[in-house]
Structure 1
Amino acid sequence: MAKPVSEYTRKRNFDITSEPPETSGRARSNKSKALTFVIHKHDARNLHYDFRLELDGTLKSWAVPKGPSLDPKNKRLAVHVEDHPLGYGSFEGSIPEGQYGAGDVIVWDRGVWQPHGDPRATYKAGKLKFTLIGEKLTGDWALVRTHLQGSGDKEQWLLIKEKDEAVRSADEYDIVADKPESVVSGATVGEGRSAAKAPKRKAASAPVAEKKPAASKPASKKAATKKSSVPDKLSPQLATLMDTPPAGDWLYEIKFDGYRIMARIRDGEVRMITRNGHDWTDRLPLQAKAIADLNLGDGWLDGEVVVLNDAGLPDFQALQNAFEIGRSKDIVYYLFDVPFLNGEDIREKPVEERRAALKKLLGRQAKGLLRFSDAFSANHRDIIESACSLSLEGVIGKRAGSVYQSRRSPDWIKLKCKLRQEFVIVGFTKPQGTRSGFGALLLAVNEEGAGLVYAGRVGTGFNQKMLDDMFGQMKALEQDASPLAKKLTSAQARGVHWIEPTLVGEVEFGEWTREGIIRHSSFIALRSDKPAEEVVHEYPRTPKDIKAPFKPKASKSGASKTEEPPSKPARTRSGKDRIEVAGVLISHPERVIDKESGLHKIDLAHFYESISDWILPHLDHRPVALLRCPEGVEGEQFFQKHSERLAIPNIKQLDPELDPGHARLMEIDTVQALVGAAQMGTIELHTWGSTYDQIELPDHFVLDLDPDTDLPWRSMVEATQLTLSVLDELGLDAYIKTSGGKGMHILVPLARKADWDTVKAFAKALAQFISQQLPERFTATSGPKNRIGKIFIDYLRNTRGASTVAAYSVRARPGLPVSVPIARDELTSLKSSAQWNIANLQKRLRKLKADPWAGYKNTQRITKPMWKRLGVKAPG
C-alpha cells in the first residue's frame, strides 16, 4: 500500500520551489546525536518566524508571528503547522510567487535543544519544556498548547521564555529587532515591515548592508532630466581594474559572479540583452516576466544574473548549470542601475539618484527573481578585506556623483579578491592516469600589434562533466597549426592539440610572472558572453592613476592599456612531469588532493613553502608525526610517527634512543624538509609536547575543546572563554588557536620541570573540574555518547608519544583548512574554526601587526595551590 502524501509535500511543487523534498532529510538516532532546532525568518504574505524542533526524524514546526521574546511576560502565539523534513533545517532562499509560502526565507537562528523529560510525552501533552543552545537564543523555554480557536484546524500554542539568566525585559531589549540577520549568510528579510525599528536591513540573499549615500554635487550642468526616445541598443558601463581602493567618496557593491544583462523595456515588451548585444530573453523568461509585471514605461535596466549557493553567495558554475537545464527559476537578477526610466534619459543624473530611483521602483518586488544590489556600509579601506572574508569574487566601486557612460570608465572600478580573468583557449593536452577528456588547457591573450600571446596552462578546477563537455567542443575545433603569434618551444608544444581560438575560459590564478605566464591557476568556467578577440591581459591600476577622471588609451581590442609591470618571477622550475619547489622536485603536481576546492598537490607544496617562516618555529626541535594522504583528503590516510624506510626528502632523523624499540623519530627543521613532506603526500603535521633535547619534560599542555558537531559556533566561543577564565583564576597564561575543524586548542606553556605523568594528571584534573562545574556544557569523558550536546575537553594529548596538530598546519579535510594561532581579542569575531585555509591564510598573515602569541614563554610551573584549587591533591 502506497504511503500517503504528507501535508508538506502536498502543498509544494518541487519542480518550481527550491525547498527540499522530504527524501532530503534522514531520520537520526536520538541516542547518538543531539536534537537540533532552527528558526526561519519568513517574509511571506505576513512576516513571521518558523520555530522548528527536531523530533522523531522530522522538524515539528510552529509559526510565530512576532518572533521569540526574551521576556517571560511576552507569551508569543505559536501556530502549529505541518512537520518539515530535517533537510529543511539548512534551507535559505526564495520561494517563488504562486507557491505556498512565497517569499524570502533566512535561517534566523539554529543550534541544539535539550528536552526536559520525555519529549514525545510532553509534546503529546502539549507542555514541551526545553533548553536552547543557539547562536542567538539560549536558556530555558516552553511551548504550551492552548484551547484558543485559531483559523482552520491549526492548534494554537504559546512560546514562553522561562526565568533564568538569559531573560531580558521587553522594555529594554528586543532580540528580534536587534539581531535581524541570518546566522548562515548575514542576510535579512522583511525590510520596512513591522520590525522597522531594527537596524538597516540587507538584501535577502546578498550578505551586504545598504549604505545611505552622502549628498553630492550634480555630475554636470546637464544633470537636469532630458526627454528622449529610448534607444534600441545600449552598451553597459564597464569598470576599470584597481589594485587597492582609492581615496574619495565611493559607493561599493558586490562584484557578482554571473552574466551582465541589460533589460530593455519597449512598448511593454521586455528583452534581456547580454553585454555583447545577444538576446537572452528565451533563456530568462521568468526574469523578463517579473520586469514586465513592474508595469514600467520604456527604459533600460542594468544588472547581473546569478545563482546563489547555500550560503547565499554567487556560484558561477551553478549559473551555467541552470542555463543548461533551463531552470530560469533558480536565477536571480540583481539590478544596480537604470540609465533610462519611463521614457526619460537619466544617464547624466548622479549615480546615487539613479540607484535611489531603481530601489524605489522595485519596492516590494525587490525579492525573489528581482533584487536590488545593495551597497557595503564598511569604510573604504576595509572594503576588499570584508568582501574576501565573505568568499566573494570582489567588489565594484562607483564614484559618488558620477554619470552613466557606455564604455570602460574610471568612475566605475573593480577590486578583486584573487587574480581572475578570461583567457582564449588555444589548445589542450592528453589526460594522465585515470583522468579522461584532456589534461590541461593552453591559454592566451590578445596583445596589441602582436596577436595571440601564450599565457600559460590550467589543469585543475574541472569536474567530470566539464572534462567531457569541453573535450567534445575542443575536438570539433581541432586544427594542425598553432594559433599563437609566436611559436612555443618544442618542449612546450610537445603533445599539444591545437584548436581554433574561439573558446573563452575564466581562470583564477595566483600571479603573473615577468614572462607573462600565470601561476597557481584553477579553471572556473567557459564564458560565452565575451568574444575571444576582446580578451587581453588585465593590468590593475593604482589609486594614483585614478584620483581624477582620465581617458584611457585604447588598444585595437578596445581595452585599456597601462605599463604596469608584471609580478616577480616564479620561484619554481618545471621538469617533464615534475615541478621544483624550494629545491624539492614535486611529482604528480597536478594531482587533485581536495575535490571541494579543486586544489592540487603543487598548491600544498607552494603553501608550505610560503608559510615556512611562520610554521617552522612551531616544529623546531620537536618530534613530528605526519598524516599522509597520498590520494588526497578523500583517500586512505596514514599516521606516521617514525621515519621507517620512507625516504622523505630532507627530513631529519632523531637519535634512536629517544624512542627505543622503534624506528627513529623525525624532525622538520627546514623549508626543504617541509616541502619534502608535502611531496610524500603529507597534509597534516603533528608535534609532541616536548622538545627532543628534553623529551621527558613537556614544555606545555594542551586542552582540545571538541564539540558535538550540532552545537552552534557561539557555544564553542563561550566554552573557550570559560576555560580561559578558569586558567586565569589559576594564574596560568594560555594561548589559543583554531583547530582547523570544529573545535579550539588551548595551549599552556610550562617550564621544563614536571614529567609527562604529572602534566597529564594536571590537565585531567583541570578538565574534570570544568566539567563538574558546568556539567550541562562540558564533559571530560571521551566517546560520542558522552558528548551529546556538550563539548569534550580532551586532555589525552598530554601523554608521552601523543601529539597535537601544529600551529599553521593544514588539516586533511574538505577545503584544506589550517590550524591558526589567534589573539584572545580575536575570539569573539571568529566565525569558524575552519575560517582560514590555504587559499586565504596569506591575506591574514600580511595584515597582522603583531604575533598573536607574543609573550609566549616557557616559564610557568604547576604549583601545589593550583592542585588544591582544583580539589585534587598534588602528586608526591
Structure 2
Amino acid sequence: MSLTKYNQKRNFKETKEPHGKVSRSESKLIFVVQKHAASHLHYDFRLEMDGVLKSWAVPKGPSLNPDDKRLAMMVEDHPYSYKDFEGNIPKGNYGAGNVIVWDNGTYEPAEESNLTPEKQLLADLKKGHLRIILKGKKLKGNFSLVKLKGKEDNAWLLIKKEDQHSDKKDVTLKNKSVISRRTLESLEKENNLDAVNKKVSPTKNAVKKNKPIAFIKPMLASLSDKPFDDEDWVFENKFDGYRTIAVCNDHDVELFSRNKISFTSNFKIIAEDLEKIDHNVVLDGEVVVEEKSGRSDFQLLQNYLKTGKGKLKYYVFDILNLDGNDITKLSLLERKELLKMLLEKYKFTNVFYSEHIQEKGINFFDQALKKKSEGIIAKRASGSYAADRRSKDWLKIKISQAEEAIIIGITEPRNSREHFGALLLGQYENSTLKFIGKCGTGFTQTTLKELYEKFSPYFVDESPLDEKPALRDKIQWIKPKFVCQVKFAEWTQDNHLRQPVYLGLRSDKNAKDVVFSRDIVKPEKEIATKKKTPMKKEIQNTDKSEKDYDLKLGKVTLHLTNQNKIYFPDDQITKGEIVNYYNEVSDLILPYLKDRPQSMNRFPNGINGPSFYQKDVDEDKIPDWLKTKKIFSESNNADIDYLICNDKATLLYMANLGCIDINPWNSTIKRIDNPDWVVIDIDPSEDDFKEVVKVALAVKEVMNGFDAPCYCKTSGASGLHVYIPLDGKYDYDTVKIFAEILAHEVHQKLPDSTSLERSIKKRNGKIYIDYLQNRKGQTLAAPYSVRPKPGATVSTPLEWSEVDDKLTPQQFTIKNVLKRFEKKGDLWAPVIGKGIDMKAILKKTQTI
C-alpha cells in the first residue's frame, strides 16, 4: 500500500519513471541521491527499507559539513527500481523536470542492535531519529536524520556527524551523475535538443500540409566603432559577400538579396545544396568566396560571377521561419540552436553554419585582425529578429574600411586610359544625395569597358546632387541607379572617402538604401561608464512647428492637427510634443501594443479638460489603413470594433486624437483569452512612495521564492506595476487566481501597510494590491506611455536595483527619458519573452 500514492501521482503513458512495485536488494541495503530540477532544484535522498525507497526532498542538497543542518521534507515512498532512474519527466506531469543519479551506494545503522539492520532502521524511522553510515561515492560516514517536532509532519533535518569523512567543502559542486557522468545541465540540454529535433523532424505528410512560406526582408546592423566584452552579447564573423535570404518550400529553393532581387541562378549550386532540406524554412546568411587563408573576399565573389572560378559558400547565421512557424520572436540563441540542429541533419557541400562566441568580443576582434578579415558582428543574445529594420541589437565592427556607394557620374579619361577616368560617388543623407568622393583605382581595361557600357543608357545631363561638387573634371552624370563596393583609407573631415578603391558592383543593393553611415553606436558598457551621455535627439520644440501638417510614414500620410495646443498647462507642454515623443519611442513601445485591442483614453483639450474612454471605433469615419478587430463585449452585449495598433502611423494617429496615455489589453487578438503577463498594480491611497517600493520588493521576494522572474515599472502616476511573463500559456481565470494568491502572499508579508479591499474607504489609507487588473478587457498604461499627470510623466521600466527609497514617480518625464532609453535599451523585453511555469508554482503553494 505504501506505493499507492506514488502510482496515483504518475501517468505512466507519459513519464518513463518505473511503475511502483515492491522489490529488495539481495544483500546490503542501498541508498541513492537524485538531483532533480523540477519547479525548484533539489536533491531527493532515498533509503531502502521494507522493499521501497523512503524519500526526502532536500532543497539545498546534502553536506559533509557537520555545521550544516539541511532541511529534508519527507515525501511519498518510491519503488526500489527508482534507484537507477535518470532522464526527463515531461511537462504537465508530477515532478516535471530532469533527474540524474547524483550519488549511490550502500548504508547501514550506525549503532549495533539485537534487531536486524532493516528492522532497527524501521524502528528508528518510527521514532523520528535515524543514525546511519553511508558508503557512497560522494557521501561517506555518519549521518543523522532527525524529525522536527512541532513542525509539519514531514519536516526533518539531514545532518553530517563529525568523523574522518567530514569536510567543509561544498560536496554538491561534484555535479556529475555517478551512473552516466552527465551533469544535470547537459541532460537538460540533451532533452531540449530532443524536443527540438522532434520539432524539426515531422513526418513527410506533415511537411506537405504546411503552407508555402515567403521571403522576409532581413534585419540590418548598426555601425559601432570598436569591440567590447559583454556577457549578454555574442560575436560572429563579418563576411565580405552578398547577404542572402534562402526561402525553401518543399525542396524548391529560391535565393534573394535583401531587396528581393533573385540570386537563384547566380548561386545555383547553393540552391541545389539547400534542396536537401525537407522542411519549409527561411534562412538568413551570406554568400562568399574565400581566399586560401579562409578570408572572404568580395572581389573573388565578383570574379566568380563572371568566370565561375572559385568555391561558393553560404554561411547561415539565422533562421526566421520553420514549417510555417514564425520564430523571429525567439531569442537569438534559441534561433541559432534551432538552426544548428537543422543544418546538422544534412550533408551539405556549400552550406555552413556560422559559428559564434559569447562575451569575449575584444579577443574575437583581435583574432579577426590577425586573419585580416572584414570585421565582426556583435549581436544581443536575447534579442528577437527585427525584420526589415536596422537595429542596435546587431552591431557591425569593421576592420577594413569598406562602404557601399552610389555611382552618380564619371570623369573624362586621361592619358592612355579609355572609357572613363574615375567614378563619382554619393550616399543619401536624410533623403538628400551627397557627394562623398571620386574613385579612380581598382579597374582593369575590361572592367572600364563593361562599366561604361552599363552606364551609357543612364547618362543624364543634369547633376543628381543638390550641391555642385568642387571638381575641375569634365563630368558625365549618371542616373543614381548603380551601387558599388569600395574600400578606402579613412573618412576626411569634409565627409569624403580618402583613397577609395573600386571592388565591384552590388546588384543586391537598392540605391535608396545606401545611406551615410558615420553615426556610430557606442557599446552599452562604454556608454554606462561615461558621466554624461549626449542625448540622441531632443524633443522637437513645437513652439516653432506648424499648427497643422502632414507627416508621411511609408505609404501612409498622417494629417496632424492643433500641434500647438497646450496639453499640460503648468509645464506648457503641447500636443505636438506628445506626438513627437511617441514618434521617438515608437520602436520601444510598439512590441507591447502589437495585436492588442486599445482602450483609448482621450484628452482632446489637455489634462485639465474633460476626458473619455473610447473602445468602439466607427469604421466608416476612420482612415481605411487603420486595423480594427471585432470583439464581443459582455457589458455591451455586442461586438465592439477595437483599434489595433501595430505600427508607428497608428500610434501617432492615436496621439493626435488626444490619447496622452496608451492602454492595451493584456492579451492579443491571436490569443484573446490568454494574457501575456500577470499584473500586480500597486496603488497607494496616500503619498508615501517608500511604502509602495516596499510592496514592490515584497512581490519580487515572493517570486524569488518561486524561482520565477518579475519586472517593475513606474505607473507614471502614483504607483508601481509589477509584471510576470506568461507567454500566453494560461487563460484569464487561471491567471486571476494566481494573481490573487500572489497578492495574499504579499499582504501576509506586509499586513500593516497593504490591503486587498477594492473600496477606498475600507482600505484605511493602506496600499491597494490590485490583482483584478488580470481580468479580460482590463487595461493598464503600456511601458513607455506618457501619463496625463503634471510634468508629462512616463511609465518607465526599471532595473530592480533602482527600486529603492530614492525612487519617485515624478522623476521620469518626456523631457528626460529619451536619454535613459538610449542608454539602457528595452528593459521590458523579457516580459514578452519566455513565460513562467505557473502550474508548477501553484502546486508548490499547495504543498509547501
Q: State the TM-score bracket (shorter-chain normalisation).
A: 0.3 to 0.5
With the length of structure 1 as denominator, give the TM-score of the two structures: 0.35
Highest CA radius of gyration, 1 or 2? 2
